[in-house]
C-alpha cells in the first residue's frame, strides 16, 4: 500500500562460549543474544531488540531461548549392521565422511556402491551446501573440501550419536564427558505459537579436559617448633589462630591482553572461581583477608560459598566503579572470620582498607586469654607505580588510625596488598616506625603529609621475616630475599615479579608459630595465573599464638575508637585540600 512499509522480522541467534575447551566440574555459561531486526527501514533508524535468557521471554511472552546440550559419542559398526540410505535392502559399503564433519544425519551418509553414491551426489550435495551456509564459522577452504564427496571406504563405519545431557541455561561437564566433544543447540521460539523464530544455532566445543592439580602447600613451624604440619591441625597451644591474606585477581582485570601466557580456559571466571574457593577452603584459616574481590562476585560467589563453611564477613567496595557486561562493578576487600571463634565489636572502613576489632568466643581455645581482642586491618593500596606519594600517604594514614584505636598490648594484624616493594617507603614506615623518604618523587609532594604523623610506636614486624628461621625451610635462598627479610615474590607475571603482599603483626602481643610455605619461580612456568594457580598473586598465611598479657593490665581495653575515628574523619577535608593543592587524588 502507498505510503506504508511492509515490516518483515528477521531474527538471528548469537552464541559465544567463554572458551572452546570445557573442563570437568567447571560450569559453562554461554553468552546468548536473540537479535530481531525490522526491515525495510532507513539504515539510521534500524532497530535491534535484544532478548537475553529466559527472564525477558517470560515477561513479554514473546520469545524463549531453549538450550540443549549434547555429548558426542563415536563408535564403529560392522558392515553387516549398516544399510544403504537409498537402497534400504542393501548393505552399505561406503560412507560420506563430509556428512560426519558437518554433523548431518548419519543415516543419510551410507551407500551400497560407488555408482549409487555418484547417482545420488547432486541431491546429496545440497545438504552439504545448506549446512555450510548455516554455519559461517567454517572457513572457505574447508567449505570447498566439504563440497567434494569426501567418501570413505572400509569394512567398518563411523557411528556418530549425540547424547542429550542437559537442557538448561548452563552445563557443568562431568567425568563421563571427559575426552568428548560437547554441542550446544540454541533455539528461539515464539512463546505464544511455539514457532521457531530463527534457524537453530549450533556450537561445538573442543574435547573436555580435566583441571590439573597443584601440590598442596603446608604450614612450616617456626624457630624451635621443628617440622611441617597440616594447615588444618592446630597447635597444642590453645591460644592460636591462623590468618590468610590473598589478592584473588578480579575478573575485570583477568584479560587476555594482560595474561596472554595463560590458556583461555584457565583464565575464565568459572574456572578460576572453582580453583580459588578450593584453595581458600583447603588452607582452613580462622581469619581470611581477600583483596580485589569483585563486587558482583562477592554477592554471588564468595559470600555464599564461605558462609557455608562457617564464616561471617565484612566487605568494603572501592570507588570508582567500572561498567562491564551490562552492569557496574568494582572490587574491594573482604575479611572473613569463623563465626564460632570471633565476633566483630568495632569496625572502620574507607576506600582502601577496613579495620575490624574481633573478640574471641571460643573459651576452650582461648582459655588462657579470656575475652581477648584482636584488631585486623585488611588493605589494598593504590596500584599506580607513578604515584609513590599516594601509596605512602594511604599507608601512613592507615597506621595513624590503627595507633589511635589499639592500646599497646592489643594484638594487631595488617594484611593486604601494599603495591609496594620491600624496603620502599611504605614498607619501611610500617616495620621501623618512621619514614626516611627514600623515593625522591615523594619529596616533591611533602605538603600532603603535613597533617599526618610520620612516626608510630606500634611494634610491627613482618610475619615472613621468620620464614628463613623456619625448620624445614632448606633452601630459603630460592624463595626469600634475605636482605629485605621478605619473600622474593608474591606477584609473578610475565612482566613483573616481586613482593607486594604482606602480613604484619605486633611482636609484643603475638608470636609467629608457623608460615605457609612459599613457591619458587621454576615450578610456576611463565607466570601467574595459570591452570594450576588461579591468581597472579600467591596466598600468604601465618599461624599466631597470643602472648600472655601483663597481669596488671587485667582485661584488655581499647582506646576511644569512635572519638578517634571522628577526629580522623574531620581531618579528611584537610587531607583532600592538601591533595588537591598537590594535584593528587588520594583515593580515600
Give the C-alpha separation, 21 to 466, whole Å. 43
Tens digit of pLDDT for each residue in 70-91?
A: 998 877 665 556 888 899 888 8
Give the C-alpha separation, 260 to 169, whole Å. 29
* Cell numbers standing for residue 48: 535491534
User: What average pLDDT score do residues 243-269 get?
Assistant: 97
Cβ–Cβ under 8 Å, residues 497 and 538 = no
Residues present in the chain in total: 588
| Cα dist from 89 to 84, 105, 114, 157, 217, whole Å | 7, 19, 16, 18, 66
Give the C-alpha separation, 493 to 273, whole Å. 19
Tens digit of pLDDT for each residue in 222-252?
A: 864 444 555 555 444 568 999 999 999 999 9
Q: Is the pTM of this model over 0.85?
A: no
Q: Is the pLDDT of residue 174 over 50?
A: yes
2 exposed, middle or buried (CB, 10 Å; 0-12, 13-18, 19+)?
A: exposed
Name the pLDDT band for 470 (thresholds 50, 70, 90).
low
Nearest CA among 419, 413, 426, 499 for reference residue 458: 413
**In a 3-state reduction of DSSP, which class is residue 327?**
strand
Cβ–Cβ under 8 Å, residues 246 and 535 = yes
**In a 3-state reduction of DSSP, which class is residue 351?**
coil
End-to-end, the C-alpha distance of the chain in Å comes to 65
Domain ranges of the chain: 220-548
pLDDT of 74 reads: 74
31 exposed, middle or buried (CB, 10 Å; 0-12, 13-18, 19+)?
A: exposed
Q: Is the pLDDT of residue 572 over 70?
A: no
Match 573442563 to its residue by C-alpha cell: 23
pLDDT of 260 reads: 96
Q: What is the CA radius of gyration of the chain?
A: 31
Element (H, E) at 205: strand 201-207
**220-548: CATH number:** 3.60.10.10
* Cis? peptide before 40, omega within 30° of 0: yes
What's CA 128's distance to the chain center, in Å? 42
What's CA 383's distance to the chain center, in Å? 19
196-201: long-range contacts, CB 8 A cutoff, minimum separation 24: 197/9, 197/11, 197/34, 197/36, 197/63, 198/11, 198/12, 198/13, 198/34, 199/13, 199/134, 200/13, 201/13, 201/14, 201/15
* Cis? peptide before 320, omega within 30° of 0: yes
Tens digit of pLDDT for each residue in 120-160?
A: 888 888 888 887 776 554 454 444 444 445 555 555 566 67
Element (H, E) at 55: helix 53-60
Instruction: Catalogue the E-assigned strands of 362-426.
Output: 373-380, 412-417
Amino acid at each position: 500500500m502507498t505510503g506504508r512499509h511492509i515490516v518483515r522480522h528477521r531474527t538471528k541467534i548469537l552464541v559465544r562460549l567463554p572458551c572452546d575447551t570445557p573442563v570437568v566440574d567447571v560450569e559453562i555459561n554461554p553468552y546468548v543474544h536473540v537479535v530481531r531486526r525490522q526491515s525495510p527501514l532507513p539504515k539510521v533508524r534500524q532497530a535491534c531488540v535484544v532478548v537475553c535468557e529466559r527472564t525477558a521471554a517470560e515477561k513479554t511472552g514473546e520469545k524463549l531461548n531453549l538450550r540443549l546440550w549434547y555429548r558426542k559419542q563415536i563408535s564403529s559398526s560392522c558392515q553387516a549392521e549398516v544399510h544403504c540410505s537409498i537402497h534400504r535392502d542393501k548393505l552399505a559399503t561406503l560412507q560420506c565422511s563430509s556428512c560426519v564433519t558437518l554433523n548431518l544425519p548419519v543415516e543419510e551418509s551410507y551407500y551400497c556402491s560407488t555408482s549409487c553414491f555418484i547417482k545420488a551426489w547432486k541431491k546429496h550435495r545440497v545438504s552439504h551446501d545448506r549446512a555450510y551456509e548455516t554455519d559461517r564459522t567454517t572457513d572457505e577452504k574447508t567449505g570447498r573440501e566439504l563440497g567434494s564427496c569426501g567418501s570413505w571406504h572400509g569394512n567398518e563405519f563411523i557411528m556418530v550419536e549425540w547424547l542429550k545431557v542437559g537442557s538448561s541455561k548452563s552445563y557443568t561437564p562431568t567425568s563421563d564427558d571427559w575426552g568428548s566433544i560437547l554441542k550446544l543447540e540454541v533455539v528461539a521460539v515464539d512463546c505464544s505459537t511455539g514457532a521457531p523464530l530463527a534457524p537453530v544455532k549450533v556450537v561445538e566445543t573442543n574435547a573436555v579436559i580435566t583441571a590439573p592439580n597443584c601440590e598442596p602447600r603446608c604450614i612450616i613451624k617456626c624457630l624451635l617448633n621443628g617440622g611441617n604440619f597440616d594447615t588444618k591441625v592446630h597447635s597444642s597451644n590453645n591460644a592460636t589462630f591462623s590468618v590468610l591474606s590473598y589478592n584473588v585477581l578480579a575478573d575485570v582485570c583477568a584479560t587476555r591482553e594482560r595474561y596472554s601466557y595463560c590458556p583461555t580456559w584457565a583464565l575464565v571466571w568459572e574456572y578460576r572461581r572453582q580453583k580459588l574457593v578450593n584453595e581458600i577452603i583447603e588452607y582452613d584459616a580462622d581469619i581470611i583477608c581477600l583483596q580485589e574481590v569483585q563486587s558482583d562476585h562477592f554477592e554471588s560467589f564468595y559470600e555464599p560459598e564461605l558462609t557455608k563453611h562457617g564464616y561471617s564477613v565484612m566487605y568494603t567496595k572501592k570507588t570508582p566503579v567500572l561498567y562491564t557486561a551490562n552492569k557496574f562493578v568494582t572490587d574491594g576487600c573482604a575479611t572473613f572470620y569463623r563465626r564460632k571463634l570471633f565476633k566483630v565489636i568495632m569496625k572502620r572502613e574507607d576506600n582502601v582498607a577496613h579495620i575490624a576489632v574481633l573478640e574471641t568466643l571460643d573459651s576452650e581455645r582461648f582459655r588462657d586469654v579470656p575475652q581477648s581482642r584482636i584488631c585486623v586491618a585488611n588493605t589494598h593500596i593504590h596500584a599506580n607505580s607513578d604515584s609513590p606519594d599516594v601509596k605512602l600517604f594511604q599507608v601512613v594514614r592507615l597506621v595513624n588510625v590503627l595507633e589511635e584505636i589499639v592500646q599497646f598490648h592489643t594484638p594487631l594484624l595488617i594484611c593486604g596488598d601494599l603495591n609496594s616493594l620491600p624496603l620502599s617507603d611504605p614498607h619501611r614506615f610500617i616495620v621501623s616506625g618512621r619514614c626516611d623518604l627514600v623515593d625522591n618523587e615523594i619529596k616533591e609532594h611533602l605538603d600532603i603529609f603535613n597533617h599526618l604523623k610520620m612516626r608510630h610506636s606500634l611494634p610491627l614486624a613482618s610475619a615472613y621475616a621468620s620464614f628463613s628461621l623456619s625448620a624445614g625451610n632448606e633452601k630459603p635462598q630460592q624463595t626469600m630475599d634475605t636482605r629485605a627479610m621478605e619473600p622474593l615474590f608474591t606477584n609473578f607475571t610475565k612482566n613483573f615479579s616481586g613482593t607486594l603482599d604482606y602480613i604484619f603483626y605486633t611482636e609484643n602481643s603475638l608470636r609467629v608459630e608457623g608460615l605457609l610455605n612459599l613457591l619458587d619461580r621454576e615450578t610456576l612456568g611463565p607466570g601467574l595465573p595459570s591452570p594450576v594457580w588461579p591468581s597472579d598473586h600467591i596466598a600468604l598465611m601465618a599461624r599466631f599464638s597470643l602472648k600472655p598479657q601483663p597481669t596488671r593490665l587485667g582485661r584488655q581495653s581499647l582506646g576511644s575508637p569512635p572519638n578517634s575515628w571522628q577526629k580522623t574523619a574531620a581531618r579528611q577535608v584537610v587531607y583532600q585540600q592538601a591533595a588537591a593543592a598537590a594535584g593528587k587524588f588520594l583515593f580515600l
